[in-house]
Amino acid sequence: MSEKYFIKTYGCQMNVYDSARMASMLEAMGYEKTEKQSEADLVLFNTCHIREKAAEKLFSDLGRALLIKNERLEKGLKTVIGVAGCVVQAEDEEIFKRAPYVDFAFGPLTYHRLPEILKKIKEKKAENVLDTDFPAVSKFDFLPENKAHGGTAFLAIQEGCNNFCTYCVVPYTRGAEYSRPIADVISEAKRLVSSGALELNLLGQNVNSYHGEDENGHERSLAYLLNKVAEIDGLKRLRYTTSYPADVTDELIACHHNIEILMPYLHLPVQSGSNRILKLMNRRHTRETYLETVQKLKEANSKLEMSSDFIVGFPSETDEDFEQTLDLVQKVQYIQAFSFKYSKRPGTPAAVMENQVEEKVKKERLDILQNKLFTLQENFNKASIGKVMDVLFEEKGRHKGQLIGRTPYMQNVHVVTNEENMFHIQKVLIEDATTNSLKGKVI
Ligand code: SAH
Ligand code: SF4
Ligand code: F3S
């Protein structure tokens, strides 16, 4: 019987992509996937360090993993526990100090070494293995070929970040910015499409600062790449995420006019509406330049809608600063957004800034902001009722015969329909809507 693996993924879409690639590697080694942790011979946690809560979640999950490991041991079954991702890069040996029963740990830049690490552990050549290198040659050169597992697929084109926003750990956990060469991206995109992907989402921490080399060694922009990818036969939808507002070029904006399959939805995290706070955050946009970018994007495609990320309670944020954020939300009319209370991250400049905001104030501001954002989201969803929208079905719903898919605006749609529609795009008449999802029928 083949050994089973279980992966739990925390954090951003890049981690989702990385987990999928690790899963393919394990399957190539003969492992079988399981959704039940208690059945797994190999348990892997792919972790996130972005906020304190995300990192602490790992240690409570590890505690539970130890209990399961011990229960299995009583039945004579062994369990290997591994930790991957950004927490490892940030905590290094701390991981083994806090959880000595972890067998191996590696950062986000070295997961291609998973097979050798597992071999070492199995042959008992090492007690535990830690790998937090920033290798000179990108892991992408070593990973086995990627395949789609549904109608939509992520494709990492860029990784790392040189922006050093003062609150953020990513430049430390994912290292310096790196763009994959054009040819590599195109061949992976073609493989994903030929294995069933109708939608591609090009990923990067700052995807729009992409500058990969073409075959002649010339650096090319994201706009160039989008045009190339859009030419792939059979591809129906194209997205890219996450973008850094100050790096949105006119050439990129033009893509939203020229590329038909580029979805009319853009995630453009603003973080704050106050210029004073944006400066302290070391973001390179102001509320004025941000609003101008949004306006140009909407001029390029009048159907385009926006989403964003927000941080409330950044050090020294006043009620007036916060009002500016609310005002910006009102101006942009986001249709979806993520919002967070500022979380102190060790080693980042903001963690030692004066005038840290009280927890109580952060919570109050978050509630106010989220109320406003949810109202906008609900209004947008309600305005979809009666419309016919293209829906790409991606998963089974909780009820019998129900599938869940996504509209061009990333709205979840629940539809009772033929299972054959799974991983296909169908026209759906929207009949009902809540803050979080839509209901409809295939027409
Ligand atoms: N590269 C993207 C964001 C990546 S992190 C960008 O530049 O926008 C995802 C989101 O987590 C950020 O947009 C931010 O809103 C949030 N975040 C990052 N660090 C945080 C911190 N220390 N406290 C609270 N939220 C944080
Ligand atoms: Fe973090 Fe800023 Fe880089 Fe985004 S741009 S990953 S928020 S440092
Ligand atoms: Fe988290 Fe790392 Fe992504 S810190 S948000 S998993 S880049």
* Three-class SS of 348-397: CHHHHCCCCCCHHHHHHHHHHHHHHHHHHHHHHHHHCCCCEEEEEEEEEC
Atom 24 in ligand 1: residue holding the nearest Cα: 342
- Answer yes or no: is the C-beta of 12 below 6 A from any ligand 3 atom: yes
Q: Which ligand is nearest to the CA of 50?
A: 3
Please report, in tens digits, the pLDDT of each residue of the chain (443 residues total): 799 999 999 999 999 999 999 999 999 999 999 999 999 999 999 999 999 988 889 999 999 999 999 999 999 999 999 999 999 999 888 899 999 999 999 999 999 999 999 998 888 766 788 888 888 788 888 888 888 989 999 999 999 999 999 999 999 999 999 999 999 999 999 999 999 999 999 999 999 999 999 999 999 999 999 999 999 999 999 999 999 999 999 999 999 999 999 999 999 999 999 999 999 999 999 999 999 999 999 999 999 999 999 999 999 999 999 999 999 999 999 999 999 999 999 999 999 999 999 999 999 999 999 999 999 999 999 999 999 999 999 999 999 999 999 999 999 999 999 999 999 999 999 999 999 999 999 99
The atom of ligand 1 lying closest to the CA of 168 is 19
- Answer yes or no: is the C-beta of 169 below 6 A from any ligand 3 atom: yes
The atom of ligand 3 lying closest to the CA of 87 is 4
- Answer yes or no: is the C-beta of 209 below 6 A from any ligand 2 atom: no
Residue 372 token pair: 């406003």
Residues 6+ apart with CB under 8 A from 315: 280, 342, 350, 353, 354, 355, 356, 357
What angle is formed at CA 145 by the lines to CA 141 and CA 146, rounded to 5 degrees? 115
- Answer yes or no: is the C-beta of 47 below 6 A from any ligand 3 atom: no
Q: Judge contact between 193 and 229, C-beta under 8 A.
A: no
- Answer yes or no: is the C-beta of 206 below 6 A from any ligand 1 atom: yes
Query: Which of 348, 351, 352, 350 has its CA nearest to residue 172?
Result: 348
- Answer yes or no: is the C-beta of 168 below 6 A from any ligand 2 atom: yes
C-alpha span between 243 and 255 (Å, rounded)? 14
- Answer yes or no: is the C-beta of 156 below 6 A from any ligand 3 atom: no
Q: Is 217 left (phi over 0), alpha (psi -120 to 50) or beta?
A: left
Q: Judge contact between 73 and 30, C-beta under 8 A.
A: no
pLDDT at 128: 83
- Answer yes or no: is the C-beta of 48 below 6 A from any ligand 3 atom: yes
Residues in a beta bridge with 433: 438
C-alpha span between 390 and 387 (Å, rounded)? 10
Atom 6 in ligand 3: residue holding the nearest Cα: 48
- Answer yes or no: is the C-beta of 223 below 6 A from any ligand 2 atom: no
Choosing from 285, 308, 311, 370 the residue with most ligand 1 atoms within 8 A of its CB, the one to mutate for a pocket test is 311
The atom of ligand 2 lying closest to the CA of 171 is 8
pLDDT at 145: 83
Residue labelled with tokens 């007036």: 320
Residue 340 C-alpha to ligand 2 middle, in angstroms? 15
Query: Which of 283, 349, 346 has its CA nearest to residue 311?
Result: 283
Query: Which of 274, 335, 343 has its CA nearest to residue 308?
Result: 335
Q: Which domains does the chain have, with CATH numbers?
A: 4-131 (3.40.50.12160), 145-263 (3.30.750.210), 295-383 (3.30.750.200), 388-442 (2.40.50.140)
Residue 89 C-alpha to ligand 3 middle, in angstroms? 11
Q: How many other CB atoms are there within 10 angstroms of residue 241's CB atom? A: 21
C-alpha span between 291 and 185 (Å, rounded)? 31
Q: Which ligand is nearest to the CA of 343?
A: 1
Residue 429 token pair: 């008449």
Residue 409 C-alpha to ligand 2 middle, in angstroms? 24
- Answer yes or no: is the C-beta of 271 below 6 A from any ligand 1 atom: yes
Residue 267 C-alpha to ligand 1 middle, in angstroms? 13
The CA distances from residue 120 to 105, 126, 237, in Å, are: 13, 6, 42
pLDDT at 139: 87
Q: pTM, whole model, 2 decimals?
A: 0.95
C-alpha span between 131 and 114 (Å, rounded)? 10
Residue 51 C-alpha to ligand 2 middle, in angstroms? 13
Residue 319 token pair: 């009620």
Residue 177 C-alpha to ligand 2 middle, in angstroms? 11
The atom of ligand 2 lying closest to the CA of 168 is 1
Residue 199 C-alpha to ligand 2 middle, in angstroms? 26
- Answer yes or no: is the C-beta of 356 below 6 A from any ligand 1 atom: no
- Answer yes or no: is the C-beta of 14 below 6 A from any ligand 3 atom: yes
Residue 418 C-alpha to ligand 3 middle, in angstroms? 37
Atom 13 in ligand 1: residue holding the nearest Cα: 309
- Answer yes or no: is the C-beta of 345 below 6 A from any ligand 3 atom: no
Peptide bond into 434 cis (omega under 30): no
The CA distances from residue 206 to 159, 227, 287, in Å, are: 8, 18, 19
The atom of ligand 2 lying closest to the CA of 174 is 6
